[in-house]
Amino acid sequence: ILMNNSESMSVFNSGKYIIISLKNEIISPEEIYYDLNSIIQEININQDIWVVGFDLTKVEKICDIKSSAESLNISLTKLILEIKKPVIGLVSGEISNRLFEMILPMDYRITDKKSTFIMSQIFNDNMQFDGATQLLPRIIGLNKSKELIMFGKQINSKEASEIGLVNIIVDEEKLNETFICKIELLTQFSPLAMQFTKSAINFSKDTNTIRGMNMENDLYSILLSSKDRTSSINSIKNKSKRNPYSGK
């Protein structure tokens, strides 16, 4: 059974998706790591959960970990990377440093028009240590990543969208509505197909093309023979399904 509340976070379970909301404006990674770890373990084995949402709009800052030994064991980025289901993140305000790093492993990111993004560790003779140097170049490219990380450049939400850091910008009052809409859209599709698609895409960035295509083919073969696939085909036979983006 998924945890409903803790001091650091709350979890809303709709049946097909869950939303994990961080409660505090300033929070340490230790406060959320162990609760989040147990939740993610259940997410991956719970077949009823198709999509995961992270509502980070109340968070202003995630504190740094002072001990290098602890930083190896308390990685929020690694936890989110372990989630097999699609992950959608919602952020607002100044998205900086550890909070910035936390959204990078998410599959889809939503923000508002007033948000800004910055990694300012370089100003304190410090550097990122929870995956930014590895994930950010894969998302926005090498040159832009160096500009943001090495110069500590702050960008607004429009710039973040233009370089591919965020997927969509909406008015502040429409943040939650858009967040739920995108999550519910993904629950219309085959959960196993979505999970396998995410695995294949993520695998591609860490391997050569031939190995990636072989893995894609293996996953497709498994999907064809799955109960989930059979259920989807029956659904199509029973009622017409439309592409939600087609307008037809």
Residue with tokens 């790591």: 33
The Cα 135–Cα 148 span in angstroms is: 13
DSSP 8-state class, residue 187: T
CA nearest neighbour of 20 among 51, 45, 44: 51
Distances (CA, A) of 38 to 64, 109, 208: 22, 23, 33
The side-by-side arrangement of strands in the sheet containing 94-96 is 94-96, 116-118, 155-156
Determine the pLDDT at residue 240. Answer: 47
Gap between the Cα atoms of 49 and 226, Å rounded: 17
pTM for this model (two decimals) = 0.84
Q: What pLDDT tens digit does each residue of the chain (248 aa) get?
A: 455 567 789 999 998 999 999 998 998 888 888 889 888 989 999 999 999 999 999 999 988 766 555 555 788 988 999 999 999 999 999 999 999 999 999 999 999 999 999 999 888 888 887 888 889 999 999 999 999 999 999 999 999 999 999 999 999 999 999 999 999 999 999 999 999 889 888 876 666 656 656 776 777 677 777 756 566 556 655 554 555 555 54
Cα 242 to Cα 43: distance, rounded to the nearest angstrom = 28
Helix (H) or strand (E) holding 159: helix 157-162
- Provide the pLDDT for residue 8: 83
The three-state secondary structure class of 183 is: helix
Give the alpha-carbon dihedral of 228, 234, 238, 243, to 10 degrees: 50
pLDDT of residue 203: 77
